[in-house]
């Protein structure tokens, strides 16, 4: 299920499209995650940030950053390259809009990237993480807003949601007793969505 996002700051929309165009031109694999993606696949909500999972070959990174600088993004190139290489994440800015990049180091993140789908958003083609992928990334982060987003994503996609994929991927990160696993179990029980292979009273995301 996909819904249109609410009115967003023009700088955020412009930054999203500029970045996607640059990534497509250089054949960089990416997936839009975060609030915009959750709003597209669940319940729309306001945001002022952009979040991406992406694979940028080391040889491509300097020229990509130069291209983004020419498109209006601001960052320190030396810092961005160091952070991307050593910490596997970095932050850019576009006219005041924060743009977070995350490298898919965890297998879970790699699978989220692999399963992203090209969608039409405001007449533009953008690779957006699947509902399952977004639920998994938000389980990892697990802030209060992430929990609310997960509930919205489950409710909006309940008839098509691949719960077995969520179970399989999540058990590579956390066990049954992890607070996030217990929270997801309770949430799915409340929404009457037991995971495959589990009895109705046991919807633990861990295998």
pLDDT at 205 over 50: yes
Residue 121 has what pLDDT?
Answer: 87
Report domain 10-190's class: alpha beta
pLDDT at 125 over 90: yes
pLDDT at 141 over 90: yes
Report helix, strand or coil for 82.
helix
When computed from its CA atoms, the radius of gyration of the chain, rounded to whole angstroms, is 17
pLDDT at 5 over 50: no
Residue 195 has what pLDDT?
Answer: 55
**In the chain, where does DSSP find H-type helix?**
10-25, 34-41, 61-70, 77-82, 107-114, 131-141, 144-157, 163-170, 179-190
Closest by Cα among 14, 19, 42, 48 to 32 = 19
Residue 193 has what pLDDT?
Answer: 78
pLDDT at 4 over 70: no
Share of the chain above pLDDT 90, in %: 80
pLDDT at 128 over 50: yes
Closest by Cα among 24, 27, 28 to 53 = 28
Which band of pLDDT confidence, cut at 50, 70 and 90, is reported for residue 73? very high
Of the listed ranges 25-29, 55-59, 96-100, 201-205, the least confidently predicted one is 201-205
Q: What is the DSSP string of 118-133?
A: EEEETTEEEEE--HHH
Residue 104 has what pLDDT?
Answer: 97
Token couple for 68: 């983004």
Residue 123 has what pLDDT?
Answer: 87
Calculate the average pLDDT of the chain. 91
In the chain, where the domains are located: 10-190
pLDDT at 46 over 90: no
Residue 198 has what pLDDT?
Answer: 55
């Amino acid at each position: 299920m996909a819904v249109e996002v609410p009115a967003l700051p023009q700088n955020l929309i412009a930054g999203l499209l500029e970045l996607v165009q640059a990534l497509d031109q250089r054949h960089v694999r990416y997936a839009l995650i975060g609030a915009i993606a959750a709003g597209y696949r669940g319940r729309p909500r306001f945001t002022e940030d952009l979040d991406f999972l992406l694979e940028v070959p080391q040889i491509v990174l300097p020229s990509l950053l130069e291209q983004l600088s020419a498109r209006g993004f601001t960052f320190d190139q030396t810092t961005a390259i160091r952070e991307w290489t050593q910490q596997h994440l970095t932050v850019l800015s576009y006219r005041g809009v924060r743009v977070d990049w995350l490298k898919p180091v965890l297998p879970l993140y790699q699978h989220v990237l692999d399963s992203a789908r090209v969608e039409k958003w405001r007449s533009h083609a953008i690779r957006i993480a699947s509902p399952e992928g977004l639920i998994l990334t938000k389980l990892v982060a697990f802030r209060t807003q992430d929990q609310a987003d997960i509930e919205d994503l489950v409710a909006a996609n309940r008839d098509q949601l691949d719960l077995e994929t969520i179970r399989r991927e999540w058990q590579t990160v956390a066990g049954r007793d992890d607070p996030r696993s217990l929270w997801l179990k309770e949430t799915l029980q409340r929404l009457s969505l037991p995971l495959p292979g589990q009895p109705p009273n046991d919807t633990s995301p861990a295998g």
